[in-house]
Structure 1
């Protein structure tokens, strides 16, 4: 059975969702980040997996539900931190791992279960994002060379990451494309897609 890893930042004003400011204030952006993280944690918590891991930059707070193993992020660039999260989770429990961020509050346990189940007969799982990146990556076994050196936050990050998996000869299961919340327009779109989420509720409250 697979495990799920969330890689996230502690939702502190001025450190998260800075591309939302403006139109939102740093405190409002942090509130939206906290809501998105909460939705992601709920979806993971509802998914039957061997282990739930939070690879955290910062300190856990009252927003963290029980049932998660917290590990610190390691590495300088995002490519290194993703690679380290896979390796560290695998050391804790040598099971296939599905990794997501905190930017897709519309994620569902059904999608996460599909990703986890796919690793039983595929080497990798890949969820592309509308901004050219990716919202999910799953690996049957950690391999830092699959991630290190892939340029992150680039219009072709997703294509380059998928090319890396293909060149390694991995059998990849593709998931539906989702939108990461990076901009105010993204926030409105994602809230409309998941109107019952904590994220959508928080966005509505900020608009009142």
Structure 2
């Protein structure tokens, strides 16, 4: 069986509740506007994951997803603890191979994962793990053929060195790590507008334009 057809893709996400999600988008957005943009990002991410040749799709939620978002996903609750613990719990629950994605890079596409999928579908994979670095120093994707939560626990999250620290943890364990393309996370509204320019004509780009019209942002 090819690895791609045995792959589990897990999206770790947060319910898009005003005031509780993407708070750094406010200002210029209102909390409600930030939540709407977060929902647009999450929905597009899930739509892309549905196109991947994966055996299992997990939506690992803090909160309750919209019914449309849950379609074709097994919804599971996030564990407690910091982000490192929550990511580690996913690894401990899935035998592998596993790809974990966040909800903040709606511009990601199959092409960004092409090297990973080709390698793991080759019959003789060259890479034990793959890491997708984010422009803010974190990472937008983490994949392991043999998931091990201990390779994530204790890695400091939400810093400009998170991606480098995670890469060092993987390589220090003897894993051969492949590198996915650098992507920008949607942390601030300037990020959202830059991402929208990368994917014109999409529902996410339209949501950004609507947010700008409502708030007068960046005019």
TM-score range, shorter chain: over 0.9
Per the alignment, residue 116 of structure 2 pairs with 115
* 1:55 counterpart = 2:60: yes
Alignment of 1:132-147 (within 5 A): 132-147=137-152
> Residue by residue, what CA displacement relative to the aligned partner does 1:6-58 show, whole Å, maximum 9, x if unpaired?
00001111111001111100000000000000110011001111111111110
Alignment of 1:160-175 (within 5 A): 160-175=165-180
Please identify runs of 4+ aligned residues in structure 1 that moved more than 3 A: 116-120
1:119·1:138 contact (CA, 8 Å) conserved in 2? Answer: no
Deviation digits for residues 132-158 of structure 1 (CA, Å, limit 9, x no counterpart): 110000011121111000000001101
Q: CA deviation at 1:179?
A: 0.2
RMSD, aligned CA: 1.3
Q: 2:17 aligns with which of 7, 12, 15?
A: 12
Task: Name the counterpart of 1:98.
Answer: 99
CA-to-aligned-CA distance 1:92-116 (integer Å, 9 cap, x gap): xx33001100000001023235434
Tell me the CA shift for residue 69 of structure 1: 0.7
Per-residue CA deviation, residues 75-100 of structure 1 (Å, 9 max, x unaligned), is: 31000001112222x1xxx3300110
- Residue 153 of structure 1 is matched in structure 2 by 158
SS at match of 2:142: strand
How much has 1:65 moved relative to structure 2?
A: 4.7
When normalised by structure 2's length, the TM-score is: 0.89
Gaps of 5+ in 1: none
Q: In 1, distance between residues paired with 2:15 and 2:115?
A: 27
8 Å Cα contact 2:80-2:86 kept in structure 1? yes
- Measure the CA separation in 2 of the matches of 1:20 and 1:180: 12
Larger radius of gyration between Structure 1 and Structure 2:
2
1:125-182 CA-to-partner distances (Å, cap 9, x unmatched) read 1100100110000011121111000000001101111010110110111111000000
Query: Contact conserved, 2:116 with 2:130, CA < 8 A, in 1?
Result: yes
Q: Is the 8 A contact 2:59 2:70 kept in 1?
A: no
Q: 1:186 aligns with which of 188, 191, 205?
A: 191
Do the aligned partners of 1:118 and 1:173 also contact (CA within 8 Å) in 2?
no
Give the alignment partner of residue 69 of structure 2, picking from 64, 67, 82: 64
**SS in structure 1 at match of 2:67:** coil
Contact 1:119 1:139 in 2 (8 A): no
Q: Secondary structure at the match of 1:106?
A: coil
